[in-house]
Structure 1
Amino acid sequence: MLFPTPRLNDLDRLVLEQIEQMRTELRHQIRRVPTKWTEGLRKYLTADAVAASNSIEGFKVSTVDVVDLMEGERDVELSEDDRDETLAYQHMMAYIQTLHNAADFAYSKGLLNALHWMLQGHRHTASKPAGQWRRGPVYVTDPRDPSVAAYTAPDAEDVPGLMNELVDWLSNGDDAHPLIRAAMAHLHLISIHPWSDGNGRMSRSLQTLLIAREGVLAPEFSSIEAWLGRPGNTWEYYRELNARGSHYRPDQDVSSWIRFNLTAYHQQAQTVRNRLDRTRRVLELLTDFAAREGLDERLVAALHEVAMTGSVRRLRYEHAEGLSVQQAQRGLRELTSSGILESVGRTRARSYTAGPRFPEPALTAARTPVSLTDPYHR
């Protein structure tokens, strides 16, 4: 038995309408931004989702470091565990993103186990197999006392039947809104806890997959994983899951879980909209600055990275503009020698930050915080 999808009340429906409107506006807004810049934003949002979802599980890697790993940087100062987990999750997310328009797509136990292998294959052991249902009990321990089981998952012998039911629901489902179905898929999978490890990230990824298959927005703009990874939201996330009880009890009302997810969708849409607005404003300021200084317009990409993320590395700039190694190095040297950027570190680990002549208005525009509205407490 799976959790029944709750009925929405009037306020829920109003919030859902607002989310749909924002996502439609975002789709049009994205189309108005040059492809080069939206591609950079897609990459950043993907990295943000990976960094946030991994942080919930205790793997701490900054979004910028994830971006550099995605670019192929080898000299990123991370522990071996953090690097392995980041790359595995990023590879799985990259595959999920490609499935958004797969014509012959179908949900199956094989698909879910294959995704799990991509996430956990590097940790595969006989006692904790990757890509296979668990063979024994699994517990989520209380972070304050590891001897206390905050949640005990269903018995291992019940997992195949529950996963059959879940796959059937994913394939045939109900008439709920796609965003509601995505939230319910997350709850179903994390409650079944079918694998020995990686269940949280798999559940969040399944939600992203359902959102991607909806097709309104590219998955990079739709995932709520980055929102869930913010410390206060992570605490609320755990609180919502704990509210389901210490054992699998699907015969309950999960309306609060739906409201939690609708808040996440709403605020993540606000966040992406704000970042798009900020990107456009920063680009305008940097383009004007480059024109006044007589700089090659391709240098704006390096300046934009510094303004938006705090630093840029040669490989990131090189890929953003499709430059050769020599062209990228020459451009960064020009910006450094003129005092617009400052060089930090040595050789391949070198990065560049804002120098004394970096245009302050662009930094201000990039760093000014904005407020997010809680749709349920306006």
Structure 2
Amino acid sequence: MLYRTPELTAMDRSVLEEVAAMRHELRDVVQRSPMKWTADLRRSLTASAIAASNTIEGYRVDPVDVADLLDGEREAVDASERNKKETLAYQQTMTYIQSLWDVEDFEYSKGLLNALHWMLQGHHHPHYPAGRWRKKPIFITTAGDPHATEYEGPGEEDVPHLMEELVFWLNQGDLEADPLVRAAMAHLNLVKIHPWTDGNGRMSRSLQTLLIARAGVVAPEFSSIEEWLGLPGNTWEYYNVLREVGGPVYSPDRETLPWIRFNLRAYHEQSQRVRHRVQRSTDCWIALTEHADRFNLAERQITALHDVAISGRVRRSRYEKAEALSNQQAVRDIRALTRAGLLTPVGNTKARYYVAGPHFPAGVLDVAHRRHTIADPYKSARA
């Protein structure tokens, strides 16, 4: 038996409608925007999702460093080898998940879930077996007290048939429910079954992202709520609602509406965050093009400056890849931007990157650092 999808109230449906409206708006904006900065934004959002989900599990790499790792800059990134391995494994998993959003003959299967788990955890095998169901009990302990059990998962003998039931539900269950609600229920059921020895949290969040992406409302990179979940206060609430709804042992008859409401708030607030980010990126791109003549900029060089404005820095190799340039051309362009005072180098050799120089247009940076507010949709609805 699985945890059941709850009935939504009028307020819940109203929040869902607002999320749908923001996502349709994002889809339209992204489709109309320049491909270059849209690619930068997708890369940034993917990096933020990976960094946040790994942070929840204790693997800390700055999102900017994650983006560099995604670009192949392993030696240049200042992070432990362990954290680099976790980041690259999650990146591999997320890349595959994002590629599945428009597969016509797609279906969920136990094989797919175990394969995704191997992508995520294979580098730990055989110390932590990957790509296969656990063969022992699972106990989640209280933070700071390894002897206090907070949650006990179903017995290992029950895992195969529970996963079979979950896969059947993923393909055929509650199809009339909103895709965002189904995605949240998939997350809850997988994390409570806890079918693997390790990596269950990230797999459950990945499965949620996959269901959202399969809904096809907006590009997969704009769909994940993992960045939102990784914010410190939200992470605490995430664990708290999982405890409240899941119970101390596997209890699929418990009320799941609090979990759905937590997720609807996450969808709504992350959509607000992405909408603000999209607008800032758009405005920065437009502002930089207005300075092109003043600094004698080639259009491609705007990409490097845009990356600095939004992410805080750019690497020569990143610029070279983004613009499909030769090494020599990328070096010349970056040197020209540095001589013009638009960029300033930091570090040496392979670790070098570039930040805003003394002549970088202050107005563009003001746009990039523009503040915004995020509204809790449930508090707004009650106001």
Q: TM-score normalised to the size of structure 1?
A: 0.98
State whether structure 2 residue 255 is matched by structure 1 residue 271. no
Rounded Cα–Cα distance in structure 2 between residues aligned with 1:157 and 1:214: 33
Query: Contact (CA 8 Å) 1:45, 1:221: kept in 2 or not?
Result: yes
Q: What does residue range 72-221 of structure 1 map to in structure 2 within 5 Å?
A: 72-74=72-74, 75-125=76-126, 128-174=128-174, 175-221=176-222
State the partner residue of 2:294. 292
Q: Secondary structure at the match of 1:377?
A: helix
Q: Which amino acid aligns with 2:7?
A: R
Match of 2:253, SS state, is coil
What are the residue-to-residue correspondences of 1:7-46 with 2, within 5 Å? 7-46=7-46
User: What is the distance in 2 between the residues matched to 1:44 and 1:111?
Assistant: 27
Contact 1:182 1:211 in 2 (8 A): yes
2:259 to 234, 257, 260: 257
Q: Deviations over 1:80-136 (max 9, x none)?
A: 1100000000001000011111112111100000000000000011x5310000000
Matched residues in 2 for 1:51 and 1:148: separation? 29
1: CA distance, partners of 2:322 / 2:269: 28
Superposition deviation, residue 354 in structure 1 = 1.0
Query: Does the CA contact (< 8 Å) of 2:295 and 2:340 recur in 1?
Result: no
In the alignment, the residues of structure 1 paired with residue 94 and residue 313 of structure 2 have an alpha-carbon distance, to the nearest angstrom, of 25
Q: Which residue of 2 aligns with 1:377?
A: 379
Q: Which residue of 2 aligns with 1:2?
A: 2
Deviation at residue 290 of structure 1 after TM alignment: 2.2
Q: Distance in 2 between matches of 1:322 and 1:372?
A: 37
Alpha-carbon deviation of 1:144? 2.6
Q: Which amino acid aligns with 1:134?
A: R
Q: 1:349 aligns with which of 339, 348, 351?
A: 351
**What is the match of residue 66 of structure 2?**
66
Q: Mean alpha-carbon deviation: is it higher for 288-297 or for 39-48?
A: 288-297
Aligned partners of 1:128 and 1:134 also within 8 Å: no
Indicate if the aligned counterparts of 2:153 and 2:250 stay in contact, CA closer than 8 A.
Answer: yes
Q: Residue in 2 aligned with 1:333?
A: 335
Secondary structure of 1:290's aligned partner: coil
Please give the alpha-carbon distance, in whole angstroms, between the structure 2 residues aligned to 1:146 and 1:369. 41
CA-based RMSD: 1.0
Deviation at 1:297, TM superposition (A): 2.1
The alignment partner of 1:312 has SS state of: coil
Query: Does the 8 Å contact 1:166/1:188 carry over to 2?
Result: yes
The whole-number CA distance in structure 2 between the counterparts of 1:92 and 1:318 is 25
Q: CA deviation at 1:338?
A: 2.0
Q: CA deviation at 1:32?
A: 1.1
**Distance (Å, rounded) in 1 between the aligned partners of 2:255 and 2:5:** 8
TM-score, L = length of structure 2: 0.97
3-state SS of 2:294 partner: helix
Task: State the SS of the aligned residue for 1:272.
Answer: helix
Query: Which string of whole-angstrom CA distances, capped at 9 and with x for unpartnered residues, describes residues 211-247 of structure 1?
Result: 1111111111111011101111111101111112211
Alpha carbons 1:299, 1:331 under 8 Å: kept:
yes
Q: Give how far 1:69 is off.
A: 0.9
Separation (CA, whole Å) in 1 of partners of 2:188 and 2:349: 47
Instruction: Indicate the percent of aligned positions where both proteins have the same amino acid.
Output: 58
User: What stretches of structure 1 move > 4 A for 4+ residues in a row?
Assistant: none
How far apart, in 1, do the equivalents of 2:2 and 2:113 lie? 17
Q: Which runs of 5+ in 1 are unaligned?
A: none
Distance in 1 separating the partners of 2:296 and 2:86: 44
